[in-house]
Structure formats: C-alpha cells, structure tokens
Amino acid sequence: MSQQCIDPIVGKILAGWRYDISGLALEMRSDYESHLADCEHCRGRQQMHRIIDVGLIALASISAGVFLLAFGVIWHLGPRHAFWLEIAALAGFALSALIWLGVAVATPAPVTVLDAAKEGARRGFDRLPQEIRQRLPEELRIKITGT
C-alpha cells in the first residue's frame, strides 16, 4: 500500500473522521464521496476501517454469547462456588454487551452492514422474474430499489 492520497488535505480530513462520512449532510458528502471514488489510498483505508469495525462488533457478539453459554453451563451443573462463577459470567456478558454497544454507536459499522444488506436485496430483486416483482407490494419494491 505504497500509494499516496491524490489530495492530502482531503485525505487528512477523512482520516480524522476515520473515513466515516455517513453523518455528513448530502451537500457536504458529495465532494468526499468523489474523493473516495477517485483515491485508491483513501478507499482502501476506509475499507480497512469498516472491516475492523464490523470485526469488533462480531468479536463482541461472540464473546457475549460465550459468556451466556458459560453462565448456562454453570447454572445447569451447579459446581462449588457457582454463585461467584455465575456473577463472573454475567459480568463478562455485560462487559461484552457494553463494548458491542460502544462500537455500534461510535462507528458506522451498523450503517455499513445495513448498506450491504440493502445492496444484496437489490441484487436479488433484480434477478427475480418480472411477474414475481410485480406481485410484491409497492412499499417493499420502493424500499428495495430505493426509487
């Protein structure tokens, strides 16, 4: 990744925002979107940041699930000192949930996942035969196609 940003000033602004322009007004966003479309360096950095964000959410989700599983096993088996082990498992779950919430609020990962889901739905809708597309309610067609 030895490539340089084509506009270092815009690149530094985007880097300061962690390449997240989802919260910007549409009028302000167009310049940054065009920069990301043209600049391979910034586009690659943006993708890396989104992969990290989604990875953190996935890791926190798995961690929370494992702590809940541990709580269930401890509760079911009832070993010595089960109370303290259950408290530790619930505390781990709470910490994982807090981390998940923090990542979800502080990053555009949920928006990125939602956009990917919408794109997948749009592609699936485009592959449907015309007669099936017409059977779908108009509200749903508008949500899927965006028009």
Domain around 115: 108-147
**What rounded mean pLDDT belongs to the chain?**
87
Model's pTM, two decimal places?
A: 0.69
CB 3 within 8 A of CB 41: yes
pLDDT of residue 1 exceeding 70, the answer is no
What percentage of the chain exceeds 90 in pLDDT? 35
Whether 113 is in a domain gets the answer yes
CB 83 within 8 A of CB 53: no
Q: How many domains does the chain divide into?
A: 1
- Output helix, strand, coil percentages for the chain, rounded to the nearest 5: 80, 0, 20
Whether 136 is in a domain gets the answer yes
Whether 124 is in a domain gets the answer yes
Whether 132 is in a domain gets the answer yes
* Whole-number Å distance between alpha carbons of 40 and 28: 20
CA atoms within 13 A on the CB side of 50: 19
139, amino acid identity: E
Whether 10 is in a domain gets the answer no
pLDDT digits (tens, 9 = 90+) for 97-114: 999 999 888 888 777 777
